Amino acid sequence: MGRRTWQSLSAPLPGRQNIVVTRQPDFSARGAQTASSLQHALDLASLPEPIFVIGGEALYRAALPLANTLYLTEIARDFAGDARFPTFEREAWRQVSCDPKHTDGPDAFDYCFATYERTT
């Protein structure tokens, strides 16, 4: 995960290896390892596969060419924000599942937990 994603968490994610990718050489992440690049993080990964990239945007962009499977939450609504999952060539991927959901309340929206597999 990227540094800002790490900083948005209250604690390390349980039951998994937490690796924080940061360009800040003196950054310390209590309960996690730090890496200077995606490749460095992949080299540190020691738990059984699969390896998950959980954000942010720049890390997703770097990891996308290496990925074989995408687990995406696709939201049928626009939200204000400064980070997005990068645009990807959908023709190179096949959706293998979609678990549709709906939120309640005045700001309700539809979303889907989708899985894609690379076809090319």
Per-residue model confidence as pLDDT tens digits over 10-43: 999 999 999 999 999 999 999 999 999 999 999 9
25 Cβ contact partners less than 8 Å away, ≥ 6 residues apart: 36
Give which of 83, 92, 109 is closest to 3, Cα–Cα: 83
pLDDT reported for residue 29? 95
**Which residue ranges in the chain fall short of pLDDT 70?**
none
**The pTM of the whole model exceeds 0.95:** no
Q: How many angstroms separate the CA atoms of 53 and 70, rounded?
A: 10
pLDDT reported for residue 93? 98
pLDDT reported for residue 47? 83
pLDDT reported for residue 73? 95
The radius of gyration computed from the CA coordinates of the chain, to the nearest angstrom, equals 16
